[in-house]
Amino acid sequence: MSEDADFVRRRRQCSACDKRFTTYERPDVNFPVVVKKDGSRADFESSKVRASMMLALRKRPVSIEQIDTALLRIEQKLLASGLREIDSTKVGELVMRELKRLDKVAYVRFASVYRSFEDVDEFRQLLRDI
């Protein structure tokens, strides 16, 4: 495996001529296309989800490994869904679920921006729910 686990490097040998060569194998992963609120479509980007999670988790006692594991769970759920397209709201809900599991403060931070509350009562209800 490579250092960042993006590919597997294999040394092989031809059975006919005994020549040795190297192959690099990468998984062919197709995430669903994200349908945004305005109807536009964009490829799923783990880096964007990670950046949002990092912002919500800023100055919180959560390790990078925990964040990576949560991001991996989100990616696995998207792949397992078998969908070709997914609403951005569904991706946001997956992120909120993982943040709630990791850190309640980060969950509230993300939810307050993501859900764009209209008044204080909606925000209070979120706090009561957790």
pLDDT of residue 5: 59
Whole-model pTM? 0.70
Domain coordinates in residue numbering, the chain: 29-129
Q: What's the mean pLDDT when you consider all of the chain?
A: 87
Q: Comparing C-alpha atoms, which of 59, 129, 65, 64 is closest to residue 97? A: 129
d(CA 15, CA 4): 31
- Whether the pLDDT of residue 13 is over 80: the answer is yes
The pLDDT tens digits of the residues spanning 42-71 come to: 999 999 999 999 999 999 999 999 999 999
CB 88 within 8 A of CB 34: yes
